[in-house]
């Protein structure tokens, strides 16, 4: 299963607390997002993820990030997660997620890692940390990857530079601290979400 959302931008809510999730995720979905990730190093993610699956699972691809172990995939599958995002390549994590019918977006930095992930069954790739490599690096790497594999830039993506990553061949991007920082207001999240949506639409015109 390849990436199947209307807007290929992943809203990453690292550090969000359970009592905050509904407000912030409503804000990004209202802005046009339909992919949401809560990293597993966020407080009480075991409460936050089921809550947003229940509230938004019918209208968005809901998932978890910083997934490091196959056993975590089992827990997330029980919660109803449909997306698994990793910072590294762990073939068994990918195998396990694919077996559950999940979309998997593993983090990679080199051609070897990218092809290892694809061989394990990954349907998309996360170039991380993107800002450390730059758009030219991703453009060069894209030249040897299968053309139908979605590549997402993650790390250092802002509304101002999003077009650089799209022009380099990325399908979309994962948006972290420039979209949401732990403790910020829902209004701030809504404002940043709108900026990102507008930047994406301008980039693909």
Active site residues: 37, 126
Integer distance in angstroms from the first to the last C-alpha of the chain?
Answer: 26
Interior CA angle at 156 toward 154 and 157, to 5°?
70
- DSSP character at residue 34: -
172 within 8 A of 200, measured Cβ to Cβ: yes
Helices (H), 14-169: 21-31, 45-56, 70-79, 91-99, 111-120, 130-133, 135-142, 162-167
- Locate 22 and state its tokens: 């509904």
């Amino acid at each position: 299963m390849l990436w199947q959302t209307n807007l290929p931008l992943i809203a990453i809510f690292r550090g969000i607390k359970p009592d905050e999730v509904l407000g912030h995720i409503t804000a990004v979905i209202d802005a046009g997002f339909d992919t949401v990730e809560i990293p597993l190093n966020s407080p009480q993610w075991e409460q936050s993820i089921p809550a947003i699956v229940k509230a938004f699972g019918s209208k968005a691809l809901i998932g978890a990030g910083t997934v490091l172990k196959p056993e975590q995939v089992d827990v997330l599958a029980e919660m109803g997660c449909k997306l698994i995002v990793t910072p590294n390549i762990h073939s068994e994590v990918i195998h396990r997620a694919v077996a559950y019918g999940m979309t998997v977006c593993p983090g990679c930095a080199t051609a070897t890692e990218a092809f290892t992930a694809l061989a394990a069954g990954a349907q998309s790739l996360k170039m991380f940390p993107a800002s450390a490599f730059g758009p030219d690096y991703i453009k060069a790497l894209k030249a040897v990857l299968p053309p139908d594999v979605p590549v997402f830039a993650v790390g250092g993506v802002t509304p101002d530079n999003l077009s650089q990553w799209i022009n380099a061949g990325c399908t979309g991007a994962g948006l972290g601290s420039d979209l949401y920082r732990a403790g910020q207001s829902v209004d701030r999240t809504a404002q940043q979400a709108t900026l990102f949506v507008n930047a994406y639409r301008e980039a693909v015109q």
